[in-house]
Structure formats: structure tokens, C-alpha cells
Amino acid sequence: MPKSLISIHDFSKEEILHILDIASEMEKNKSQKILDGKVVACLFFEPSTRTRLSFETAANRLGARVIGFSDVGNTSISKGESFKDTIKMVSNYVDMIIMRHPLEGAARYATEVCDLPIVNAGDGANQHPSQTLLDLYTIRQTQGSLQNMTINMVGDLKYGRTVHSLLQAMSHFEPKFIFTAPYELQLPSEYQTFLTEKGIEYTETQSLTEYLDVCDILYMTRVQQERFNDPMEYEKVKDVYRLNAKMLTNVRKNMKILHPLPRINEIALDVDDTPYAYYFKQAENGMYVRMAIIAYLLGYN
């Protein structure tokens, strides 16, 4: 079976660091035609701006061609074709499938129905491993290292798949975590157990300002409206945190604010002009890291 990226656990620490090194090469040389003749499918069963466009751009910059869809309404799924048949069909046309799906486990299932490398571009509230690799790349770029970081994760820690993937990946690098969330959106117990078993220290708070001055990375997240069954529950927590520039008076000089984006109201616009804002460069880094992921899974070392 070819190597896929479904969960961040699919890559060892050494492979993660290798991907980040390839991404650095890609950032220095943004167009490399090393995948001439390859075709990549981007199948997005759920909305996306950054992930889809950066994967597509990444494939194009490597010389591969891209097919796919971003709206299942324009596919035969709308006529009742199954997920399994869709994946089997597309796998006959391409060399790799990159997919986002609202159901947890959908990308893993795709690896069982075809023999191509599959990249999970987000499956429900579960995992978003390419986002994690770009987050790691950005942390290393801003801090010079991944070791011994104090990371304050803020917002929707329950449904935020980028949070789940990132804390697992960072477990290789002796981090400390602060988890800032309202009661309703706290980190699920399975991830707390994971950290405890790894001996990783973490603190929980509901106050955005309590630990701002002790972190190297402030990882802000959006409340994931699409994961709530009850709209009233979303209304209760949707604007629970709003970071503004005044709150950043006493932060560490090296501190950087990351956000997987899109943001809604959780970061005020005045934060964009501070030296701590790094989320737009983080999104740009996604293209280099996705170039590295595609190239690596298609045999480039």
C-alpha cells in the first residue's frame, strides 16, 4: 500500500522534520517541475479556501496537473453515487487523491478502496494533518526550533481538528500547553489522556488574558459552527473570545499569533498591525508545506 497522510501519526518525528526541510527548499525555489506528467485529484466534499487552493497551487508549481471538485452538487454524488464508487472511479484517473470530507474516518476509508496515496485535507472534527505540518513549519520558522515551546491554544478545542492534530505532533518536542476554552468547548478527554500518557504538562483556563504573557505561540481558533447540532449552543459561545491589540502589552517579544483561518471575530483587525500577527504568513507557508507533502508522497526525497 502506498504511503498516505491521514493522521499526523502516519509520519514519524524524523519524517515530519524531513517534510519541513523539503518545505524550506520549496520556499526558496517556488516552482520546480519535478512532477511533470503526474495528475493529482482534489476532492472537496466540504468548503475550503486555503487548503484546496494551496494544494492546487502546490501541485501546479511542481508541474503536476490537477482535477477535482469543490462542490459535490456538481458531481454524480448528487444522483446517489456512493463515496466508495467515487473514490474508485477517480483513482483510475490520477496519481494521488487529496480529499476533505465532513465525516471522521472518510480519508482512512479511501485508503481501503484504492491503491493511491491519499492526503486527508480534513475529516470532520478529527484530523487536519497538512495544516499541522504547516503549523509546525511556521512555529520553527518563527522560534528557530520546535523544542520546549509553550503553546496557548484558544477557542474551540472540542471541534477544532487543527488543535487535535497539532497537539499530537508537538508531543515529539517536549511542549507545555495552555488550553483556553469555555466549558462547552474544552479539549476532549481522549486528547487529555494522550498528553497525560506522554507526560506533557498542560493547564486549562477559561480566561483569554490569564496566560497571554507566558506563551511563545498563541494559537487562536474559530468556533466551528458547522459541527454544532443545536444552533442555540453555537450562539452561546460563538463570540466567547476576541483578542485585540491592547491585550498584547505584556507578551513575550518572540510570541507569535497563529490561526488556521478563516477567522470570524476572535482576532480584532488591530492585531494584524502588531509584530505578533503571523497568520497570513502561516497561510502562505501552507503552499510550501503542501508542495513538500505532495512531492514526498509521490516519491521525491
* Site residues, ligand CP (CB under 6 A): 48-51, 122, 131, 260-262
**Spatial distance between the Cα atoms of 62 and 145, rounded to a whole number of angstroms:** 27
Judged by DSSP in three states, 98 sits in: strand
Residue 287 grid cell: 503552499
**Residue whose CB is less far from ligand CP, 124 or 260:** 260
Closest distance of CB 121 from ligand CP, Å: 7
DSSP string, 40-77: EEEEESS--SHHHHHHHHHHHHTT-EEEEES-GGGSGG
**Residue whose CB is less far from ligand CP, 255 or 261:** 261
Closest distance of CB 261 from ligand CP, Å: 5
**Residue whose CB is less far from ligand CP, 117 or 260:** 260
User: Cβ distance 270 to 244 under 8 Å?
Assistant: yes
Q: Which residues, in sequence order, are bridge partners of residue 199?
A: none
Residue 267 grid cell: 482576532
Closest distance of CB 160 from ligand CP, Å: 10
Closest distance of CB 279 from ligand CP, Å: 10
Write the CA distances from 8 to 12, 24, 167, 169, integer angstroms: 8, 19, 10, 6
Closest distance of CB 185 from ligand CP, Å: 18
Q: Which residues, in sequence order, are bridge partners of residue 119?
A: 5, 98
**Spatial distance between the Cα atoms of 209 and 134, rounded to a whole number of angstroms:** 26
Q: 150-154 and 96-101 as β-strands: parallel, antiparallel, unpaired?
A: unpaired
**Spatial distance between the Cα atoms of 166 and 134, rounded to a whole number of angstroms:** 10
**Residue whose CB is less far from ligand CP, 122 or 175:** 122
**Residue whose CB is less far from ligand CP, 51 or 126:** 51
**Residue whose CB is less far from ligand CP, 68 or 122:** 122
Closest distance of CB 40 from ligand CP, Å: 16
Residue 295 grid cell: 512531492
Query: Position of cell 492546487?
Result: 56
Closest distance of CB 23 from ligand CP, Å: 16
User: Cβ distance 51 to 59 under 8 Å?
Assistant: no
**Spatial distance between the Cα atoms of 180 and 241, rounded to a whole number of angstroms:** 9
**Residue whose CB is less far from ligand CP, 114 or 134:** 134
